[in-house]
Structure 1
Amino acid sequence: MALLKRINPFSRQNDDTGFGINANGYGGRFINRDGSFNIRREGRSFMHRFNIYHALLNVPAWQFAAVILLFYFSINLMYSGIYWWIGTDGFQGIIGKTPWARFKEIFFFSTETFTTVGYGRVNPIGDGVNLVASIEAMTGFLSFAVATGLIYGRFSKPRAHLLFSDHALIAPYQDKTALMFRFASYKENHTLTNVEVLVTIALQVQENGAAVYRFYTLALERNKIETLSMNWTVVHAIDEDSPLLGFNAQDMETADVEIYVTVRGFNDVYSNTVLQRTSYTYQEIVYNRKFVPMYRESDNGKTTVLELHHLNKTKEIE
């Protein structure tokens, strides 16, 4: 029997996901765990597809710092090479006797010019080096203007600051079986309000002898809360209306199941609506385990402690 016939016809199909149905056109998951789309674009030149400003806004902090340092040293080495090529006779105040000592003085003159510090012991006297120094000074303040914009953009970019559990669970829930996962906000003073969650499942099925993907919006026990002050366990009851009714682990693998999640809420700190995505493939769905509570009363009994290190902690159902 084709897998399509096992899916409840009353399940809410979602044709507005933005993904196509052709199973042969996809490799791997639709959405990565970090929320980025698992898509690589081709067909246009790299420079046409690449935007260095937006790339630097989104790279990890260590990569951003590495790019800034690499740019700073590289451009000063470039200008130092130009000064060296013109000749050190165009400077006064150089006291180095060896070529390496003189080059170091020129390099540090370049850094002082680039940052417009200008300590003054080494200064240009020739027309050539004066011209290059004036261009370098202009390059310096333009570069710092761009770097300032990047740093501000990275610090002020609205974010949801959410952590999702590594696995989704399928386990008994009340008098039914349910799919569940949980997430929490990990930043102090970044409580989200008017939080909504949308959960969609992708299933590969057989239609007319061809494999295609079908998408269904999963009905949730609760899809909106007023405030995300603690953790939220999202629950989808696998009942007569669920597309997962009757599925076991082997069925999940056969259907190449992927569950992708979108969380949207208002962050008071940024005074803006923020959004974060993630997904779970059939390999990241665990059976017959339940989450361990991740909050407790403080030792003095005056506050609640949210234990983020317990976000992924589960135990077997007895």
Structure 2
Amino acid sequence: MALLKRINPFSRKNDDTGFGTNPNGFGGRFINRDGSFNIRREGRPFMYRFNIYHALLNLPAWKFGCVILLFYFSINLLYTSIYWMLGPEQLQGIIGQTTWAKFKELFFFSTETFTTVGYGRVNPIGDGANMTAAIEAMSGFLSFAVATGLIYGRFSRPRAHLLFSDEALIAPFKGKTALMFRFASYKEHHTLTNVEVLVTAGLQIQDNGNAVYQFYTLSLERNKIESLSMNWTVVHTIDDDSPLLGFSAQDLENADVEIYVTVRGFNDVYANTVIQRTSYTYQEITFNRKFIPMYRESENGKTTILELHHLNTSKPIEDPGA
């Protein structure tokens, strides 16, 4: 990969990113678009590194629901198999005559015991079935306690609820050139206050003949606002102090440029400070386009409509030198 021949010496270097400088140690982007770090840990046993509570809290909602259903049916099939091995005669009230009918009744008896519903028609009479039912009832209310905690944790976890534009743009801005992207809160009646944004550029450069990664904090036209009620277009002017001064699209690729973003604000709903991250690689930076406005007046003229479907909408600049 060709490397950039120079970096503006007046740019603000950032050595506190937590990333190293050796380009041979990195694969892909530093931060994923969803804000997670693009890192996989090795060198210790999997179960030592794995945290099931953390994993379940961070699963997408549909995967979390599937895990709950899979666990529910799997554990009831396990207990059904135990009742079957003990023998259906250890439970009274079974009216099924075929093997399948008896198995179904044992399964539904298991679900009633696991959830402590206990309808009463089928009940254990043998010592083995009674002991299994007692253990199952205990595992049932413990499981529901854990599931309740997980569901509460997922619902109550503070979130920023932000959407970022798919691309960052480099285009003329107030007689100069600027890098810009935008984001907005997508929840109804949801506003962040004391919102701050930090933007860092990571790029590969030549340092004494060696390829290294360096990181630079980008100065912004505005890095803090009191409240995020609409969208915010973050602008970095590419001036004499910018590490991106004079970069073309090919330069961005040669330097493997990644722009990563941290947004921090106070969420009134959760009464807590929330953080959300994202990043833009050189493939996601487009030249000579500008965002179109994403808000309009309502039909009755009394409300401002924020058009979230236009968050990524931009149009080409016909005369970039204008």
Q: Which of the five TM-score ranges fits, normalised by the shorter chain?
A: over 0.9
Could you tell me which residue of structure 1 aligns to residue 8 of structure 2? Answer: 8
Q: How does 1:1-318 map to 2 (within 5 A)?
A: 6-318=6-318
**Secondary structure at the counterpart of residue 18 of structure 2:** coil
Matched residue SS, 2:8: coil
TM-score by length of 1: 0.99
> Which string of whole-angstrom CA distances, capped at 9 and with x for unpartnered residues, describes residues 46-75 of structure 1?
111111111100100000000000000000
Change (3 A) 1:233 1:309: same
Q: How many residues align?
A: 317
Q: Secondary structure at the match of 1:136?
A: helix
Q: CA RMSD in A?
A: 0.9
Q: Distance in 2 between matches of 1:296 and 1:210?
A: 52
Structure 1 counterpart of 2:82, one-letter code? I
SS at match of 1:184: strand
Q: Is the 8 A contact 1:258 1:281 kept in 2?
A: yes
Deviation at 1:5, TM superposition (A): 5.1
Aligned residue type for 2:273? T
Measure, in 2, the Cα distance between the counterparts of 1:81 and 1:94: 16
Sequence identity of aligned pairs in percent? Answer: 82
CA distance in 2, matches of 1:283, 1:3: 17
After TM superposition, what 4+ stretches of structure 1 lie above 4 angstroms from structure 2? 2-5
Q: Secondary structure at the match of 1:206?
A: strand
CA distance in 2 between partners of 1:246 and 1:129 (Å)? 78
Q: Is the 8 A contact 2:93 2:123 kept in 1?
A: yes
> What is the SS of the residue equivalent to 2:121?
coil
Contact 1:203-1:255 within 8 A present in 2 as well: yes
Q: Give a deviation string over 1:236-260, Cα, whole Å, max 9, x none.
A: 0000000000110110000000000
In the alignment, is the contact (CA less than 8 A) between 1:189 and 1:269 conserved in 2?
Answer: no
Amino acid in the other structure paired with 1:75: I
Amino acid at match of 2:191: T
Q: Matches of 1:302 and 1:256 in 2, distance apart? A: 47
Q: Is contact 2:4–2:255 with CA below 8 Å preserved after alignment?
A: no
Q: TM-score, normalised by structure 2?
A: 0.97
Using the TM superposition, give the Cα deviation of residue 3 of structure 1 relative to its aligned residue in structure 2, in angstroms: 5.2
- Three-state SS of the structure 1 residue aligned to 2:213 is strand
1:32-91: per-residue Cα shift (whole Å, max 9, x none)?
000000000001111111111111001000000000000000000000000000111101
2:241 is matched by which residue type in structure 1? D
Secondary structure, aligned partner of 1:221: coil
Query: What is the deviation of 1:31?
Result: 0.2
Pairwise CA distance, 1:226: 0.2
Shift of 1:180: 0.2
CA distance in 2, matches of 1:281, 1:105: 57
Deviations 1:81-136 (A, max 9, x none): 00000111101000000011001000000000000000000000000000000000
2:24 and 2:173 map into 1 onto residues whose CA distance is 36
CA contact (8 A) 1:4 1:207 kept: no
Alignment partners' CA distance in 2, 1:209 and 1:11: 20
Give the deviation of 1:189 after TM superposition. 2.0
Q: CA deviation at 1:170?
A: 0.2
3-state SS of paired residue (1:6) = coil
Deviation at 1:209, TM superposition (A): 2.5
- Structure 1 runs not aligned, ≥5 long: none
Deviation at 1:4, TM superposition (A): 5.8
CA contact (8 A) 1:86 1:129 kept: yes
Q: Is the 8 A contact 1:31 1:38 kept in 2?
A: yes
For the residues of structure 2 that align with 1:193 and 1:5, how far apart are their CA atoms? 42
Q: Which runs of 5+ in 2 are unaligned?
A: none
| Offset, 1:6 | 2.2
Work out the CA distance in 2 between the residues paired with 1:192 and 1:170.
Answer: 27
Structure 1: distance between partners of 2:96 and 2:225: 69
Helix, strand or coil at the partner of 2:256: coil
